[in-house]
Amino acid sequence: MRMRRERPAHIIPVELRGGREKGEGQKWCRSLKTKCASPRRQEILTNAGLRFEVVPSWFKETLDKTLFKTPYAYAVETAKQKALEVAQRMPLKHLKKPDIVIGADTVVTVDGLILEKPVDKQDAYCMLSRLSGKEHSVYTGVVIVLCHEREGGETEHEVVEFYEETKVKFADLSEEMLWEYINSGEPMDKAGGYGIQALGGMLVEYVQGDFLNVVGFPLNHFCKQLGKIYNISPESPAYKIKRKTSPESDGPCTSASCLSEKTAQPDISILVNSDSVHNAVEPEATENNTEGFPHSLVELLDGFKASKTLFTASKLGVFDVLSDTGLTLNEVAIRIKASVLGTEKLLDAAVSIGLLHKLKCEDKLVYRNTEQTKQYLVSDSPLSLHAYILHCNDMIWPLFNHLESAVREGTNQHEKAFGKKSENVFQDVYLKKAEMVMCFMNAMHSIAKVTGRDVATAFDLSRFKTACDVGGCTGAMAYEFTKAHPDLSVIVFDLPAVIELRSHFQPIEQAGRVSFVAGDFFKDDLPKADLYILARILHDWSDEKVHELLSKLSKTCTPGCGLLLSEILLDEERTRPSRALLQALSMSEGRQRNTTEYSNLMRKHGFSPVHTQYTDNLLDAMLFVKDDQA
């Protein structure tokens, strides 16, 4: 992110993982009154009177915890590595020379063990059970890197580091309370398995120390340290940092007030987890956000270029050829059969948006995949989105090239994009050619592999023994359900042309608990089951078709039968950033809905809502149960 230049000093806080809510990298900017999904962290930082923006971290969290004598040493070292990485990278990659870089890392410990985010509900249960009735510690390691320019243009880095410990005592937790909290979904995105500022507060008996440290950042300690930096002797290198001092105050700066607009007012960029930058949201338009440059608007303006860079690199197989080792420019160009000039521009663009690394190795420059790219963009990775990216490039991108016409006419643009008008895109566009069927199935398979586990573990489904995945395509979602629920068998029900190709995707070791039945869910009888799964189905169809399908399900289901719906759930006001709202611009005959709309829709067909789970993945989930019939 660009740094504002209207102030004399620049501070870049790095990796404020904010109260153990990893993966919630946001933008916060006091002057722009930015909204974000973590208002607790926004409040903590803005209370310091600082102005800041977000920059993504490239540091890999691979430190071996067993090498550190104490948990806080691990937290401090993690913060230091992230801060130094940014301090060294910014002048080279972004042509910006920060004055101060701030890094922070928060960990939860009990009995000498560092608790990470739980991987599933059982893991969350183990963590919270370990904390029950005990006192544990929350440590935040904070590092402030002072960047001083030396003669010759080189930069010297001076490191100031500290940590804060807060003691937290949990009450004795009953099994009922534990599972009530776990089923709320809150523990799943937080190290230690709880958030003290939310529902997790009901588990806490007392707190000794800085409460904000538990939320995620020790504001008081931080301000004292920053105050020392801004008021130290001229002999210290830190004194070289330019600052504006208020004529109204000559006293020492030891609190947040020292950073008010009357005194030093540095600009700040916060470096967050590189896998969370997509969570950043657009600044709220207010009368006070006229200062500075509209970076968020420019990011939107250039967003299509970044998308097309991802699409093209995937289509040409760039990430696949780099899957094993780093390659030089010429080596990549030869392997993807492209010009050296074009390849260089594509690779450097991919580096700039965080998809690749460009490193010097044995006196030559090589390109390598990032960890995130290895996991999600290499085509043979278990969680690869490669096929879905190709689907977006080949099928979705052409539709959005005609967005203006779609908005004016209020209709989909399949005729302009693909040369014909289609009432059933899958039947008329995909099923005409076998290779198109495989492309579509590969795309749906990749989405199901990435989302399936979170959907399958969203609820306790132990009372259901058989399930039917309606429109289950390759069976990827069904397999995730059988992994999560050992006593569950799943029938995948889909069109004959899809079922015929199941052998290309079916894991042999689980074939016994997943079966396939061919049929059209609008025309044919549905297989009998205790639970029906509708994943990415309803949003595609008109209201008439949706009611037709739900009516058939209602007649098929007996009282107590479950219906698990998985879609992108809109917020009630339709104001928050949402993939569903952008997806709706394709003007398909279906529509996106919020939880209230889905609940009302289901009630009309005799299904009562039981639970809702926002997964923070590509799909959310709602569980319904068929009402008793009179």
Of 243, 288, 236, the C-alpha closest to 266 is: 243
| DSSP code string of 313-353 | HHHTTHHHHTSSS-B-HHHHHHHHT--HHHHHHHHHHHHHT
The separation between CA 333 and the C-alpha centre of its own chain, rounded to angstroms, equals 32
- Angstrom CA distances, 89 to 103, 115, 132, 155, 556, stand at 14, 30, 43, 11, 60
DSSP letter (8 states) at residue 482: H
Q: Report the SS3 class of residue 215.
A: helix
The one-letter amino acid at 547:
H
Q: Report the SS3 class of residue 204.
A: strand
Two tokens at 309?
């860079």
Q: Which residues have a Cβ under 8 Å from the Cβ of 323 and sit 6 or more positions away?
A: 369, 374, 378, 380
Contact between 443 and 614 under an 8 Å Cβ cutoff? The reply is no
Q: What are phi and psi of 521, to 5 degrees?
A: -70, -5
β-pairing verdict for 621-626 and 100-110: unpaired
Residue that the structure tokens 């529509």 belong to: 591
Give the residue numbers marked as catalytic.
Answer: 105
Residues 227 and 217: their CA atoms lie apart, in Å, by 16
Residues 45 and 18: their CA atoms lie apart, in Å, by 10
Q: What are phi and psi of 225, to 5 degrees?
A: -65, -45
Q: What are phi and psi of 123, to 5 degrees?
A: -65, -40
What are the beta bridge partners of residue 491? 468, 515
